[in-house]
Structure 1
Amino acid sequence: MPSADTLEDARADGGGGDGGGGGTPKTAKLSLLTLTALVVGSMVGAGVFSLPRRFAQETGVTGALIAWAVAGLGMLMLAFVFQTLAVRRPDLDAGVYAYAKAGFGEYLGFFSAFGYWASVCVGNVTYWVLIMSTLGAVAPALGDGDTALAIVLSSVGLWAFYLLIRRGVKEATAINRIVTAAKLVPILVFVVLALVFFEPSVFTDNLRGADYAGSLFDQVRGTTLATVFVFLGVEGASVYSRHAQRRRDVGRATLLGFVGVFAVFASVTIVSYGILPMAEIARLRQPSMAGVLEAAVGTWGKTFVSAGLIVSVLGAYLAWTLMAAEVLFVAAKDKDMPRFLARVSLSDVPVPALLLSSALTQVVLVVTAFSGDAFDFALDLTSALTLIPFFLAAAFALKLALWPVREGAASPGTGARREVVVAALATLYTAFLLYAAGLKFVLVSLIVYAPATLLFVKARRELGRRLFSPREAVILAVSVAGAALGIVALAVGWIAL
């Protein structure tokens, strides 16, 4: 989770807008350590606390090891992609969406920016669901975070944070300063205690998986969206690449952060199989990490993890809300979004972008009431929305490796063959993730994507430009058709949330 202080500094040179103050804003420069912390913090959030149940619902130890190997290799290739792009195209700032725009045109670049922003907003829903589910263990009226009372309380919290952030980022940082320790300590304690109480016989019984798990391929496929969700944030350094003290630090921070977080995530998943049979883990309420630790050490373990989770998630929600507003703000500054989203208050807060982000989070929060599992639905939709931006970034890296001069590389590069292989693997991995997400989440994603074109149209009209080129019109037609099919599929019951 990027700290609120870091986010504030990183936006310092983006003042102006319709409500900006006078003078020349200070340009913040971020060190390798700060960028690495940003990547680690961005990835360590609510997802890790849910990993034991998510994996146990799909696979046993063998499938989990394969899934983490696939996810680790694929995300490592994606991390290498961001490293390469940061060096070969230093002119592209704001990360993921800038690469899609450079590689495939303004409309797909807009889709990438919107999809990345929407994934952050939907991801914020998982925080509220997880908080209410945690409290639901002592207040049954909150259920699994999807009851009417849970949604009302989550909505109150959502808009309370909006008002807090609107007053100014500096006033929000007091909450954020305690988050890093609060999120890492319970996770590390969980891993250590799980190893102490590890039962080899239970672990062995969980090797092949339960009867409900299906084939090994299905087991691995079923865990892919969970691994995508927990790795969201691997691109965190690239989002603020323009603020790095040295451009090469962006790639280094991405790799250092990824390796550390990967080790933690895989450990949390695997050691859980040595505490309880996977069928029992699969039935735990979220956060399942608390239930696993309770089985190992007693009630205090559940309380310890739950308390750490609530503090961690509240801080993560604060940071990712700031991140969502930042994405819209930067896109509007680049004239890829309507200009009203580039306005900032006297406190240097992009209020319109913040309001739109909070509004989308509220809408999805209400939608979770109609889903079979509120947390899993929000988690999977977050991952699915992120896949298109990630796929486009990887595909652009492949184009850059194959045709460096045509694609505007800053230098021809010395490892052309390596870059082609890495970019090709990253592209294949993200394409596989789209397949693994399944038709359901692709269609639901298009329902979110298609209406966003209204913002694109508004931005084009403000610039007095033609609305759509012939190629863009084809992309529009495909997205609208997919959204229409998704709505029909939901209405007649072909797919369910």
Structure 2
Amino acid sequence: MGDVDVTTAQGGPTTVSRPVLTAMVIGSMVGAGVFSLPARFGTATGVAGALIAWAIAGTGMLMLAFCFQTLAVRKPELDSGVFIYAKAGFGDYVGFNSAVGFWASAMAGNAFYWVFMTATVGAFFPEFGDGDTLLAVGVATIGVWVFHTLIARGVRDAAVINRIVTVFKIVPILVFIVVLAFTFDAGTFGDNFLAYDDLGSMTEQVKNTMIITTFVFIGIEGASVYSRYAQRREHVGQATVLGFLSVLAIFSLVTMVSYGAFTQPEIAGTRQPSMVGLFEQTVGPWGEWFISAGVIVSVLGAYLAWTLMAAEVAFIPARSNDMPRFLGRENASGTPITALIATSIGVQVLLAVTLLIKDSLNFMLDLCTSLALVPYLLAAAYALKLAWTGETYEDDPAGRRKNAVFATLASAYAIFLFVAAGLEFLLLSCLIYAPAVVLFVIARVERKARVFTPPELVLCIVICAGAVFALYQLLTGGIVV
């Protein structure tokens, strides 16, 4: 991938090159989700529905990538993009909630990763079950704090390791694609083209794939989160688009070659992670070990990237007085240590919760996705606001029109995903946003600033009301987890 060294500017902070930023985007997106794609698609739709789903997801997420690219170029003074774009566009409290949403999403995603990995090990050692046994949680706990120690040594070391892990975890996926491509059967592919009647209409089939397509693309903002480390600002947008297109090609090929090698019922009935079972059926027993190793490496790499991003998104608001000051502390290695500790504790709590949830794997996946949609929508909305008002476009009317289209499509896609994901998860997210307001109040008091503007107070009341209603639904069985 060219020069991937992490360098340190003389007298300045650690900087990373464009290839490293691209690797961060790819590393953030390529995690556990890709190994689940065949069965998740096989239970939802056929080839036609999958093609439509990837076209919608690809277009929507590409528009979002363009928004991050545009914002990185037009607002170069804004760092830690996910949080700061919402703040710049819609005020302190909205920006704070964007940061909280992304932070919580990363924690839920990391809990999902540990459950997914221990469930993979469970295929060889039944004591791990589906990743929700005491042994599984215990092993995951050790992993959480080992990675915590690694990252605490410094962002520079963690970024280099992430670069190496990204390379090694891509190899099993590419081998899967190539091997199944050689077994591709046009007749099987044709039989799988249209889904069976019991999967519902084509619209319903496509809708049922939206959660997984969104989940596998979470991390697209990886370069924007690390914008303050970029050697050149334009590298942020370039890395985002290049990383996204690379991952889109990989993900879509994984599903298509599966439809060409196995019947839809075979794919749908494969134990998760389904890439393991399909590859084993294709090449023999060694295939199970080969892809399982890829799952573990991929999960660990993605966990590293997501933990780094989560700590950054808690650290930057603290430095800009939007979160309490204690979250802005760094250790001698320059790591945002208090934010990292809070992140690790949050993942630990969620791992404990998995012991009480019926289907912890899918619950964490859906919760992670729903929480990420709020920051994504706000970033797209800010890009739309810039184009609508003409700010930064005084000498570029053509660019203004083009970026307005991109931002409109990205915003519409994010809203569509809320509906596809299920509004109950948006409601459950209020249980996170509502108590988090305490952090916002502490930060405002520390600054001796007014806590809420009137619109912000209304938003806070709405969020708290949503939390109360969500709690009521949980207690009465209206929402089942």
TM-score by length of 1: 0.91
- Matching residue's letter, 2:334: D
Q: Which amino acid aligns with 1:242?
A: R
1:34 aligns with 20
**Which residue of structure 2 lines up, in the alignment, with residue 437 of structure 1?**
421
Corresponding position of 1:20: none
**Does residue 486 of structure 1 match 2:463?**
no
What does 1:451-466 correspond to in 2, within 5 Å? 451-466=435-450
The aligned counterpart of 1:277 is 263
**Structure 1 stretch displaced more, 108-117 or 438-447:** 438-447
Aligned to 2:381: 395
Q: Which residue of 1 aligns with 2:296?
A: 310
Query: Which of 204, 207, 220 is residue 234 of structure 1 equivalent to?
Result: 220
Q: Does structure 2 retain, via aligned residues, the 8 Å contact 1:51–1:268?
A: yes
Q: CA 1:366 to 1:66, structure 2 compared with 1: closer, same or farther past 3 Å?
A: same
Which deviates the most, 395-404 or 195-204? 195-204
Within the candidate set 128, 142, 147, 1:156 is matched to 142
Instruction: Provide the residue aligned with 1:418 in structure 2.
Output: 402
Q: Is the 8 A contact 2:27 2:305 kept in 1?
A: no
* Counterpart secondary structure, 1:26: coil
Contact 1:338 1:459 in 2 (8 A): yes
1:333 counterpart (319, 323, 327): 319
Structure 1 residue 376: deviation in Å? 1.7
Give secondary structure in 2 for the equivalent of 1:317: helix
For the structure 1 residues 82 and 264, does the alpha-carbon distance in structure 2 shift closer, same or farther, using more than 3 Å as the test? same
Matched, 1:90 2:76: yes
Q: Where does the alignment leave 5 or more consecutive residues of structure 1 unmatched? A: 14-23
Aligned-pair identity in percent equals: 54
Instruction: Give distance in 2, aligned partners of 1:419 and 1:178.
Output: 35
The corresponding residue for 2:62 is 76
Q: Is the 1:90–1:410 Cα contact (8 Å) retained in structure 2?
A: no
The reply on whether 1:475 has 2:459 as its aligned counterpart is: yes
CA distance in 1, matches of 2:409, 2:161: 40
Match of 1:64 among 45, 50, 54: 50
1:229-284 Cα distance to aligned partner (Å, 9 max, x none) = 11112111212223333322222221111111100010011111223232332232
AA aligned opposite 1:431: I
1 CA distance for matches of 2:450 and 2:45?
A: 50
Shift of 1:177: 5.8
1:195-238 residue CA offsets vs partner (Å, 9 max, x unmatched): 11223333223222234421111111111111111111211121
Contact 1:276 1:295 in 2 (8 A): no
Q: Does 1:286 align with 2:275?
A: no
Which amino acid counterpart does residue 165 of structure 2 have in structure 1?
V
Q: Which residue of 2 aligns with 1:427?
A: 411
Alignment-mate amino acid for residue 479 of structure 1: I
Instruction: After TM superposition, give the deviation of residue 285 of structure 1 in Å.
Output: 2.4
Other structure's SS at 1:274 match: helix
Of residues 223, 226, 247, the one that matches 1:261 is: 247
Deviations 1:57-77 (Å, cap 9, x if unpaired)?
221111111000000110111
Give the RMSD, CA atoms, in angstroms: 2.2
CA positional deviation for 1:176: 4.4
Paired residue secondary structure (2:31): coil
Structure 2 counterpart of 1:147: 133
Check the 8 A contact 1:446/1:486 in 2, yes or no.
yes
Q: State which of 160, 170, 178 in structure 2 corresponds to 1:184.
A: 170
The answer to whether the Cα contact below 8 Å between 1:58 and 1:222 also exists between their aligned partners in 2 is yes
Tell me which residue corresponds to 1:362: 348
Question: 2:393 touches 2:400 (CA, 8 Å); kept in 1?
Answer: no
Local SS of the residue matching 1:370: coil
**Is the 2:24–2:162 Cα contact (8 Å) retained in structure 1?**
no
Q: Which moved more, 1:146-155 or 1:435-444?
A: 146-155
Aligned equivalent of 2:361: 375
> Distance between the aligned counterparts of 1:115 and 1:165, measured in 2?
22
Letter in structure 2 aligned against 1:487: L
* 1:318 Cα deviation from its structure 2 partner: 2.2
| CA distance in structure 2 between the partners assigned to 1:416 and 1:169 by the alignment | 36
1:321 corresponds to 2:324: no
Q: Are the equivalent residues in 2 in contact too, given 1:401–1:420 (CA < 8 A)?
A: yes
Work out the CA distance in 2 between the residues paired with 1:444 and 1:264. Answer: 32
Picking from 107, 111, 114, the partner of 1:125 is: 111
* Cα separation, 2, equivalents of 1:227 and 1:269: 11
Instruction: Give 1:336 shift.
Output: 1.1
Asked whether the equivalents of residues 144 and 285 of structure 1 are also in contact (C-alpha less than 8 Å), the reply is: no
When residues 423 and 449 of structure 1 are mapped into structure 2, their CA distance, relative to the original with a 3 A threshold, is same
> How big is the shift at 1:156?
2.4
CA–CA distance in 2 between the matches of 1:344 and 1:49? 36
Query: Given residue 247 of structure 1, which amino acid in structure 2 is its aligned partner?
Result: R
For 1:88 and 1:167, the matched residues in 2 are separated by: 33
**Map of 2:102 onto structure 1:** 116
Indicate the residue corresponding to 2:123 in structure 1. 137
The residue identity in structure 2 corresponding to 1:302 is E
Distance (whole Å) between structure 2 residues aligned to residue 76 and residue 170 of structure 1: 29
| Aligned residue-pair number | 479
Deviates more, 1:472-481 or 1:412-421: 412-421
Q: Among residues 186, 195, 202, which one is paired with 2:188 in the alignment? A: 202
CA distance in 2, matches of 1:337, 1:376: 31
Structure 2: gaps (5+ residues): none
Decide whether aligned partners of structure 1 residues 174 and 35 sit closer, same or farther in structure 2, where only a CA change above 3 A counts.
closer
C-alpha offsets along residues 398-426 of structure 1, whole Å, 9 cap, x if unaligned? 11101023xx6686554222111111111
Q: In structure 1, what residue type is equivalent to 2:61?
A: M
- Deviation at 1:158? 1.4
| Correspondence for 2:434 among 450, 470, 485 | 450
Q: Which amino acid aligns with 1:374?
A: S
Amino acid aligned to 2:371 = L
SS of residue matched to 1:273? helix
Deviation at 1:5, TM superposition (A): 7.8
TM-superposed deviation, 1:27: 2.9
